[in-house]
Amino acid sequence: MRADRLISLLLLLQTRGQLTARELAQELEVSERTIYRDIEALSLIGVPVYAERGPNGGCALLDNYRTSLTGMTNSEIRALFVASVPQTESAWQDSRSLNSAILKLAASLPKPQQNLAEQVRERVQVDNHPWFGAAATTPFLPLVEEALWQERRLNMTYRGQSGRWVKRLVEPVGLVAKAGAWYMVANSQGNLLVYRVSRIQEAHLTEQPFTRPPTFNLAQFWHSWQAQVEAQFPRFQVTVRVAAAAIPYLSELYGDAIHTILAAAGPTDDRGRIQLTLPFPSQEQARAHLLTLGPQALIEQPEWFQEHLQTWIERLKHEE
């Protein structure tokens, strides 16, 4: 660990110039005494670093101690630095590796370009949170990542779209970030399936290895799978006014799509009911779900569908 810290210390000084021991200690999460010991260690191996105590003191490298990264334009450098912009939902649970890589890149750049990293952070913000709600948590994402890289089977308990919990032994072959959510592509009993990582309730890594299909292309698979999902997108729409108490049910029904539905919501009436346009695969599906909501949903459009539901309710009464 000390070798990694010495490299980080060296790169911090090369990138930011003179820093106090306290600033370095806070950055590297060690004591100031450790910083002074590390400065001495760098000096002993020939790194031209010095430390001055006092109000105007600090730690710094000699100006001529610098490497250069040539052949990159400012736009290319900015594109790389955008990857390090803080996000509301991190790509991975721990971003230290990414930050370390960005630090090394910044340290290698010529002096005039080194401030691009800070400029990007001042001007660009990446927000992966969905509208009208918190992003789903993904506590098992690191474990899925580990199974993916080590090519080991993953035992998990998963909540399907029906709401039922099922147990699966899967072989992860890919991870995809889509609209602020993570999806795992995995082989399960000979079939390539897509699982939303936030729906994993429990998981543990097995010692069972597997062989990733050599011809598998994640980008092609995802493009084809996404096209199939979009082709099945609901065709029947109903405009309703729903009570706030119905939102949890709709969230379970639509999953991530509920945020898009809420973003397009109409005005709220004096009884606190919000106007929503709800898509369904068919009239039968719309009827089943809206009957479940009962008085919490008032149908506005199409008008004939309200009459259809009333007729259906009367028929059910007579069958009882």
Task: Determine the pLDDT at residue 257.
Answer: 76
pLDDT at 180 over 60: yes
Instruction: Choose among 244, 304, 305: nearest CA to 275.
Output: 244
- 154: which 2 tokens? 């993953």
Mean pLDDT computed over 95-121: 63
pLDDT at 19 over 60: yes
Q: Which of 103-112, 198-207, 240-249 is the least confident region? A: 103-112
> pTM for the complete prediction?
0.51
Q: How far apart are CA 120 and CA 14, in angstroms?
A: 19
Per-residue pLDDT band at 5 (split at 50, 70, 90) = confident
Higher pLDDT, 68 or 108: 108
User: Starting at the edge strand that comes first in sequence, how are the strands of the sheet with 191-196 ordered?
Assistant: 191-196, 181-188, 165-178, 152-159, 200-209
Mean pLDDT of the chain: 79
Per-residue pLDDT band at 162 (split at 50, 70, 90) = low
Task: Determine the pLDDT at residue 194.
Answer: 95
pLDDT at 204 over 90: yes
pLDDT tens readout for residues 215-237: 999 999 999 998 887 776 667 88
- 88: which 2 tokens? 């509301």
Q: How far apart are CA 173 and CA 195, in angstroms?
A: 12
Q: How far apart are CA 194 and CA 186, in angstroms?
A: 6
Task: Determine the pLDDT at residue 216.
Answer: 92
Per the CB < 8 A criterion, the answer to whether 141 and 151 are in contact is: no
- Looking at mean pLDDT, say which of 63-77, 223-237, 299-313 comes out highest: 299-313
